[in-house]
C-alpha cells in the first residue's frame, strides 16, 4: 500500500512542478520574475527526482535497504538543489518588489547558501551509509533554516508593505515547509512514521509554485 500511495504522489508531484516550471519559463515573456520562478520550480522538481525516483524504485522492488547508496546520493543532490531553490526565490523577491541595493542581505543569502552546501559536502555526512549521523544532519540544516527564515521575513514584510495579495501567503508556505521538515531531520530515524511529514512538506512547496503560477496567469489575463 505504501509503495502505491508514494509512487502515485511522487509521480504527480514531479510531473506537476516541472510542467508548471517549464510553462512559466515559456510564457513569462519579459517578466523576469516569472522566468526565475519557472526555473525555481524546475530546479525543485529535478532536484527532488534524484531522491524520489530511487525511493519509488526501492519501494516497488527490493526495499529501501537495497537502495541505500542511491537514496543517499539523491538526498545529497536534493540538499544542494533546494539551496539553489532559495537563492532563486530570493531573486524573485528582488525582482517582484524592485529591490535595489541591499548588499548586506544578498551577502547573507549567499553566505548561508555556500555554508549549507559546503557542510553537505563534508564526508562526515556519510550520505551513502545507512547510519548517517544525526549530528551532521543538524549541522548542515542550521544555515539552511536561517536562509529560510530570512526569505520568510523578506516576503512577509514586502507583501504586507505593498499590499501584494497574490504573494501574501508566500511566507507561510516556507514556514510550513520547514515546520514539516525539521521534525523529519531530528526524529525520523528513531520514529520512522515521522517521515510521513515529507508529504505535507512537499505540498507546501507545491503551494509555493502555484502562488507564482497563478500570479503570472492573473497578470497575463488582466
pLDDT tens digits in sequence order for the chain, 222 residues long: 777 888 899 999 999 999 999 999 999 888 889 999 999 999 999 999 999 999 888 888 888 788 889 999 999 999 999 999 999 999 999 999 999 999 999 999 999 999 999 999 999 999 999 888 999 999 999 999 999 999 999 999 999 999 999 999 999 999 999 999 999 999 988 888 898 899 999 999 999 999 999 999 998 776
- 83: nearest Cα among 21, 152, 141: 141
The C-alpha cell that represents 22 in the structure block: 517549464
The C-alpha R_g of the chain, in whole angstroms, comes to 18
Number of structural domains in the chain: 1
The C-alpha cell that represents 126 in the structure block: 556519510
The boundaries of the domain holding residue 189 are 2-221
- 43: nearest Cα among 81, 75, 87: 81
120 touches 74 (CB < 8 A): no
CA angle in degrees (0–180, nearest 5) for 160-166-171: 55
CATH number for 140: 1.20.1070
State how far the Cα of 114 lies from the Cα of 127, in Å rounded to an integer: 19
Amino acid at each position: 500500500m505504501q509503495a502505491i500511495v508514494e509512487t502515485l504522489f511522487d509521480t504527480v508531484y514531479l510531473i506537476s512542478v516541472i510542467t508548471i516550471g517549464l510553462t512559466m519559463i515559456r510564457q513569462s515573456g519579459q517578466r523576469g520574475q516569472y522566468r526565475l520562478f519557472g526555473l525555481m520550480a524546475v530546479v525543485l522538481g529535478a532536484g527532488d527526482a534524484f531522491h524520489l525516483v530511487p525511493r519509488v524504485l526501492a519501494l516497488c522492488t527490493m526495499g529501501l535497504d537495497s537502495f541505500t547508496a542511491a537514496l543517499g546520493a539523491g538526498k545529497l543532490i536534493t540538499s544542494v538543489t533546494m539551496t539553489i531553490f532559495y537563492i532563486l526565490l530570493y531573486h524573485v523577491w528582488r525582482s517582484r518588489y524592485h529591490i535595489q541595493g541591499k548588499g548586506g542581505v544578498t551577502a547573507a543569502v549567499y553566505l548561508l547558501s555556500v555554508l549549507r552546501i559546503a557542510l553537505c559536502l563534508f564526508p562526515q555526512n556519510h550520505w551513502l551509509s545507512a547510519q548517517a549521523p544525526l549530528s551532521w544532519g543538524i549541522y548542515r540544516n542550521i544555515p539552511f533554516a536561517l536562509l529560510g527564515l530570512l526569505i520568510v521575513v523578506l516576503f512577509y514584510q514586502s507583501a504586507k508593505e505593498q499590499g501584494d495579495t497574490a504573494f501574501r501567503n508566500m511566507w507561510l508556505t516556507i514556514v510550513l515547509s520547514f515546520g514539516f521538515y525539521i521534525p523529519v531531520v531530528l526524529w525520523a530515524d528513531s520514529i520512522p512514521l515521522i517521515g510521513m511529514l515529507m508529504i505535507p512538506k512537499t505540498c507546501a512547496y507545491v503551494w509555493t509554485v502555484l502562488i507564482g503560477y497563478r500570479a503570472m496567469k492573473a497578470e497575463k489575463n488582466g
